[in-house]
Chain A
């Protein structure tokens, strides 16, 4: 039974929703309030009653406390509650404002199916994050992607094909001053695109070499990684570089285009390191006021092992496919990043970046001879590739990768 709170200043909207959603009363427990203050009171009452709301659906413009203010309060006071906006406004400023405080923005008039699907997905993600460990998941869930200036514009530019390169370049300009960031990005790019980017190249040179649109998606990927990937540790960075190299090698082997390579590399950085709540990750997640009644201790992660790993992967996949579109990543990138966690779950359509990414992961698992590869992991990916006609490409790809590695190392030694 999910609990959902609807807030709107227009009583008729509320009654219409109530009537329309009356059929779902078996699975949803709905409450309707006509103002922000009343909503906050209702939320508090529900938490006190031990039945917190899973999702709040709010209008934006309301007299007194408007939607943005209400959701900001909800985000801080009731972080577990999923926040959806259902607004009649069509002007972009207000939509951006709504996006900055809500998980999803729904435009009135909204078909009930969409509303139901969004509510359902929000609940699922919340539940997945609960299973993955709320401490770590809070970074994903609690804060909207407000990590840098103009994020909304960047997301829009990233998602849109219409914006000109000038606009994208202007957006990129706000990142170029971060030298350390560009150094890290440059390492990844030099590994993945040795032909285009040399290690240590500056921001301007890198942008010029890769093209504004490609670099924007890569920048956003690294930003995402920084935001949700936890603290940057050496092993993760090394793994990123190796994966990037493998992607480049496989791409060269399979004659992939630059766009597919860029998407694969972008997707390779879009990872949620949420593994299991037992992991003593001790993340430096900002201390969010934990709800008094924290979710009941996740049960699934308690038993560590293969099944839990697969379940966690499926949960990560769920979360990623929910989260990434709000960042403006393209569908192919989202699919690659999400399905990489659980290839078996992904839709049957093959996407180029996904194959590159899966292949790179496969090679990565064999890269350290000291550590035997995870049988289940390897098996699943081999089976997946086999289903899609990539029978036994591992040796070929491995040869290409080692050749690339040799070449890179020789070049590096030269430089």
Chain B
């Protein structure tokens, strides 16, 4: 229970002004959810304290009001009760309002009020203890009450107020340690409650000591009740206080118990207080006596003290000055009710300095004429005691007393202070208000002389009582032995008789009080019930909360499982997505309505369109840059037949980013896209016809890819849905191209060593001859210089010896004959060597120069010659090459590729011959012939080798098939040759072989290549030509189906439905 409380208080506003600081403790089991309910609970719980405080304030206010109206009897439960003092009532108003203020969140007001109450209480306490009134409260009320300097608050009441004020101050005191403060507050409240309760209990049990302390004044019953209520309010507040020791430990029903207990107690007390029987009335009379007597005594004593002080002052002066005396006397007269006049009597009996109602003469006459007054004066003078006369009637019905205070200086009698004491208002004040109308009161002197009588109740009874009192005053005096009033030297006996009839009947004021108590109890019960209700509501709210919590928990569990399922599904979908995305194949799924439902990342990359742009779109409307017609045809066929279709070598160009946006974002029409795509396709086709097909892919946009697709029906039973699965064959094509290139390099590499030899050898003799020439010509120059002179001499016919000597010197050591023979030969050989080098280098260039990669009209005879030159070193030690070139037109061909074909065939032939002749001296012959056969050029390469063995014949065109040793051949040469001839040139290649005689390869190349019909069966024509060429029995023309295919040369090759086609793909 604690932790929820803590949580609640933690959630409440932490302001110190908030009474909710106290928490909701017992009332609620911490329904965190209901902050509104929580506030209700707080208000309800505090409202009990508020109500209690209000009741207390109301009590005090009611008494104050009645004080003001002087209708105090209305408030008293019975006639014998002393009314609550007005300062007590004021204190209750203050403290009650303080409690209310505190509970309503005005702790500062409560603090101030508490301080006031504490001041009031402590001052009153001091007053009571010192017996010295300072009339604090009297000043507040002005004339109505101030004139009546009645008894002050009783001591215990003062104490209670002091405690209450201290409590309120402490409550608000800052910095106090919470634990200690709580303890202090608790003990203070306990003190207030216990004092009040003791007083109340005393009234019930007639133990006067519990409410009337030190026989001074007694706490009034209402006051006791008020303090009980006040203390209860404090307890309630304490219980609400945070960290209060009583908080949390008390169960919920304790509030009920407290309410019921207070109500029952109040009812009981008041019932017993107002119950009337003889005993009760006697006791009430006794109480009346003691109360009234103590009151009277107190008042009289105070009068006497005032007189004595005045007398003392006169004595201190030595000589009484009329002026001074007059001032003091008039002050005393104002302060003391009941004093009619004050005067000084000198030893001669002269009165002077009279103040008050009577002047000197009147007083002199009264004192001198009245026997009992003179006796009293004499007694005062002789006995040196303050004495009083018997009551005398001076004017009319009033009963006066003369009080004499003798003044001695040393032993010298200087006179006496006399004051005329009018007892009537005094007694009226005491008995009239204090006793009420339910009692008859008679006051008589000890010698039985009555001087005061007051009759409550019916007049008949009053008469009876008067006679009875007159007749039996002694009895009465004896009966009321306690009822004495000592006044100076006089003792009066007071008797009172309860008016039974009146007492027995319920007084209106009693009923009021009862109602008040009832109201209090009901209000308390209501408050407590309300708090209980709130608590109950809180409990039920808590239960509801718990239910809600349980439900929400189960809901959360359900939610979590749902979320788990969802995330499972999401994960599965994501996993599927990942799987689809991780496919290296393009996947496009289209549903029955022709809308795209699958579009994996490969497709996104290929087309440059994200799946967000594509999914849900109509497939035909997508701006895809590929061969739309081909795909559309395949899709239509697939849908129509339900077969799986395959299309090869479709070039896909990704849409540029901005175009992709335009295409989908601004609603680019399908037609425009389509036409754009078609144009592009047309352009691509045009390119394809011109450019080297193998180089086509890299020649286009770097991002273009080549894909092979299959169109798969996804709906059984001829639905319209289909899936296009495409594999990116760009790399494969690249690899095949690279393989092709590698083979080319390999053949070139094979040639390289031979070519180096072919170059190095001429270089050797060229450099030798050059050296020779340069060495030889050097000495000849001097001879040449002599020639003009020789010419001159020859003209003259005389050869001077000098010249002959020089000539001899110049030609000395020059082998002229040798030079004459050798120099021209050397120059010739140099020329020849240079020619050889030039030839071979040019052949190399012709053979594989990057510049002639494209398709061109080429002279195949020249190409063959070049190849023969290049390969010379491969065959020259074993074989002779004979060429028989026919008249052939220029062929439209890829001449570089054909060069490679010829080289491969030539090298194969040379190797075949070398295998036969070995290193011996024998030589073979390679015969190369060309001729025109219709529109085909036929090239035959025949060797005199061993022929192709039977088992190898079907495999020689396979890739990687080789009969050469490891490291000697890759087995690619003939495969490449076949690919070049058949796939690139639509020609044919076959061979005729005879074991032991040799092999002839026959290559047929069309003179001009027709535009390829891409959409048809592109391989039909060459296949036919191939088979047409197969005439001889030994013809091993390659079966078309087994042909390895290099797809770059054959864009958009149609592959028949896979189930139908058993054709292995290369």
Residue ranges of A at the interface with B (Cβ–Cβ < 8 Å): 10, 12-13, 15-17, 19-20, 22-23, 61, 63-64, 66, 86-91, 107-112
Q: Given contacts A63-B877, A88-B757, are A19 and B764 in contact (CB under 8 A)? A: no
Binary interface encoding of chain B residues 891-932 relative to chain A, with 1 for a CB under 8 A from any of its CBs, else 0: 000000000000000000000000000011101000000000
Taken together as a complex, chains A and B put the C-alpha atoms of A115 and B349 apart, in Å, by 187
Instruction: Give every chain B residue within 8 A of A109 (Cβ-Cβ).
Output: 760, 763-764, 766-767
Instruction: Give every chain B residue within 8 A of A15 (Cβ-Cβ).
Output: 765, 769, 822, 825-826, 829
Binary interface encoding of chain B residues 725-766 relative to chain A, with 1 for a CB under 8 A from any of its CBs, else 0: 000000000000000000000000000010011111111111
Q: Which residue of A17, A19, A23, A108 is within 8 Å of B761 (Cβ)?
A: A108
Taken together as a complex, chains A and B put the C-alpha atoms of A17 and B832 apart, in Å, by 16
Most chain A CB atoms below 10 A, which of B753, B761, B771, B832: B761
Instruction: Give every chain A residue within 8 A of B753 (Cβ-Cβ).
Output: 89-91
Q: Given contacts A63-B877, A89-B753, are A19 and B826 in contact (CB under 8 A)? A: yes
Q: Are the C-beta atoms of B775 and A23 separated by less than 8 Å?
A: yes
Most chain B CB atoms below 10 A, which of A19, A23, A61, A107: A19
Residue ranges of B at the interface with A (Cβ–Cβ < 8 Å): 753, 756-769, 771-772, 775, 815, 818, 822, 825-826, 829, 832-833, 877, 919-921, 923
Q: Which residue of A20, A22, A61, A90 is within 8 Å of B756 (Cβ)?
A: A90
Instruction: Give every chain A residue within 8 A of B772 (Cβ-Cβ).
Output: 16, 19-20, 22
Taken together as a complex, chains A and B put the C-alpha atoms of A61 and B921 apart, in Å, by 12
Instruction: Give every chain B residue within 8 A of A63 (Cβ-Cβ).
Output: 877, 921, 923
Q: Are the C-beta atoms of B769 and A20 separated by less than 8 Å?
A: yes
Q: Which residue of B lies closest to A69 (CB)?
A: B919
Q: Which residue of B759, B768, B822, B832 is within 8 Å of A112 (Cβ)?
A: B768
21 A-B residue pairings within 8 Å (CB atoms): A10-B765, A13-B761, A16-B766, A19-B772, A19-B822, A20-B768, A22-B818, A23-B775, A63-B921, A64-B920, A88-B756, A88-B761, A89-B757, A89-B760, A90-B753, A90-B757, A108-B760, A109-B760, A109-B764, A111-B767, A112-B768
* Chain B interface SS verdict (over half): helix
Taken together as a complex, chains A and B put the C-alpha atoms of A86 and B756 apart, in Å, by 14
Q: Are the C-beta atoms of B877 and A108 separated by less than 8 Å?
A: no
Q: Which residue of B lies closest to A86 (CB)?
A: B764
Q: Given contacts A15-B825, A61-B757, A88-B756, are A20 and B771 in contact (CB under 8 A)? A: yes
Q: Are the C-beta atoms of B763 and A16 separated by less than 8 Å?
A: no
Q: Are the C-beta atoms of A88 and B760 separated by less than 8 Å?
A: yes
Instruction: Give every chain B residue within 8 A of A110 (Cβ-Cβ).
Output: 764
Instruction: Give every chain B residue within 8 A of A23 (Cβ-Cβ).
Output: 775
Taken together as a complex, chains A and B put the C-alpha atoms of A327 and B768 apart, in Å, by 30
Q: How far is the CB of B876 from chain A (nearest CB, A)?
A: 8
Instruction: Give every chain B residue within 8 A of A17 (Cβ-Cβ).
Output: 765, 768
Q: Are the C-beta atoms of B764 and A16 separated by less than 8 Å?
A: yes
Taken together as a complex, chains A and B put the C-alpha atoms of A10 and B829 apart, in Å, by 12
Taken together as a complex, chains A and B put the C-alpha atoms of A111 and B767 apart, in Å, by 8
Taken together as a complex, chains A and B put the C-alpha atoms of A112 and B825 apart, in Å, by 19
Instruction: Give every chain A residue within 8 A of B920 (Cβ-Cβ).
Output: 64
Q: How far is the CB of A248 from chain B (nearest CB, A)?
A: 46
Closest 8 CB pairs of A and B: A16-B768, A16-B765, A88-B760, A19-B772, A20-B768, A109-B763, A108-B764, A88-B757
Q: Which residue of B lies closest to A62 (CB)?
A: B877
Taken together as a complex, chains A and B put the C-alpha atoms of A89 and B756 apart, in Å, by 7
Instruction: Give every chain A residue within 8 A of B760 (Cβ-Cβ).
Output: 88-90, 107-109
Q: Which residue of A13, A66, A90, A107 is within 8 Å of B765 (Cβ)?
A: A13
Q: Which residue of B lies closest to A9 (CB)?
A: B877
Q: Given contacts A22-B818, A88-B756, A88-B760, are A64 and B768 in contact (CB under 8 A)? A: no
Q: Are the C-beta atoms of B826 and A16 separated by less than 8 Å?
A: yes
Taken together as a complex, chains A and B put the C-alpha atoms of A108 and B759 apart, in Å, by 9
Q: How far is the CB of A267 from chain B (nearest CB, A)?
A: 36
Instruction: Give every chain A residue within 8 A of B829 (Cβ-Cβ).
Output: 12, 15-16
Beyond the given pairs A12-B765, A16-B767, 9 more chain A to chain B contacts, judged by CB atoms under 8 angstroms and listed by A's residue number, are A19-B769, A20-B769, A20-B771, A88-B759, A89-B753, A89-B756, A90-B756, A108-B764, A109-B764
Instruction: Give every chain B residue within 8 A of A89 (Cβ-Cβ).
Output: 753, 756-757, 760
Instruction: Give every chain A residue within 8 A of B818 (Cβ-Cβ).
Output: 22
Q: Are the C-beta atoms of B763 and A108 separated by less than 8 Å?
A: yes
Q: How far is the CB of A53 from chain B (nearest CB, A)?
A: 20
Q: How far is the CB of A226 from chain B (nearest CB, A)?
A: 34
Q: How far is the CB of A300 from chain B (nearest CB, A)?
A: 35
Q: How far is the CB of B816 from chain A (nearest CB, A)?
A: 13
Instruction: Give every chain B residue within 8 A of A111 (Cβ-Cβ).
Output: 767
Taken together as a complex, chains A and B put the C-alpha atoms of A23 and B771 apart, in Å, by 11
Q: How far is the CB of B967 from chain A (nearest CB, A)?
A: 11
Instruction: Give every chain A residue within 8 A of B832 (Cβ-Cβ).
Output: 12
Q: Which residue of A lies closest to B756 (CB)?
A: A90
Instruction: Give every chain B residue within 8 A of A10 (Cβ-Cβ).
Output: 761, 765
Q: How far is the CB of B817 from chain A (nearest CB, A)?
A: 12
Q: How far is the CB of A7 from chain B (nearest CB, A)?
A: 14
Instruction: Give every chain A residue within 8 A of B764 (Cβ-Cβ).
Output: 13, 16, 86, 88, 108-110
Q: How far is the CB of B829 from chain A (nearest CB, A)?
A: 5
Q: How far is the CB of A249 from chain B (nearest CB, A)?
A: 51
Taken together as a complex, chains A and B put the C-alpha atoms of A64 and B918 apart, in Å, by 10
Instruction: Give every chain A residue within 8 A of B762 (Cβ-Cβ).
Output: 12
Q: How far is the CB of B820 from chain A (nearest CB, A)?
A: 13
Taken together as a complex, chains A and B put the C-alpha atoms of A66 and B918 apart, in Å, by 12
Taken together as a complex, chains A and B put the C-alpha atoms of A372 and B934 apart, in Å, by 101
Taken together as a complex, chains A and B put the C-alpha atoms of A385 and B934 apart, in Å, by 90
Instruction: Give every chain A residue within 8 A of B766 (Cβ-Cβ).
Output: 16, 109
Q: Which residue of A lies closest to B771 (CB)?
A: A20
Q: How far is the CB of A112 from chain B (nearest CB, A)?
A: 6
Q: How far is the CB of B837 from chain A (nearest CB, A)?
A: 11
Taken together as a complex, chains A and B put the C-alpha atoms of A110 and B753 apart, in Å, by 17
Q: Which residue of A12, A22, A112 is within 8 Å of B833 (Cβ)?
A: A12
Q: Which residue of A lies closest to B772 (CB)?
A: A19
Q: How far is the CB of A143 from chain B (nearest CB, A)?
A: 23
Taken together as a complex, chains A and B put the C-alpha atoms of A89 and B1017 apart, in Å, by 51
Most chain A CB atoms below 10 A, which of B762, B768, B769, B921: B768
Q: How far is the CB of A206 from chain B (nearest CB, A)?
A: 34
Taken together as a complex, chains A and B put the C-alpha atoms of A15 and B822 apart, in Å, by 9
Taken together as a complex, chains A and B put the C-alpha atoms of A224 and B815 apart, in Å, by 49
Instruction: Give every chain B residue within 8 A of A20 (Cβ-Cβ).
Output: 768-769, 771-772, 775
Q: Which residue of A lies closest to B826 (CB)?
A: A19
Q: Given contacts A88-B760, A89-B756, are A61 and B768 in contact (CB under 8 A)? A: no
Q: Which residue of A lies closest to B762 (CB)?
A: A12
Instruction: Give every chain A residue within 8 A of B923 (Cβ-Cβ).
Output: 63
Taken together as a complex, chains A and B put the C-alpha atoms of A169 and B290 apart, in Å, by 136
Q: Which residue of A lies closest to B765 (CB)?
A: A16
Taken together as a complex, chains A and B put the C-alpha atoms of A63 and B772 apart, in Å, by 28
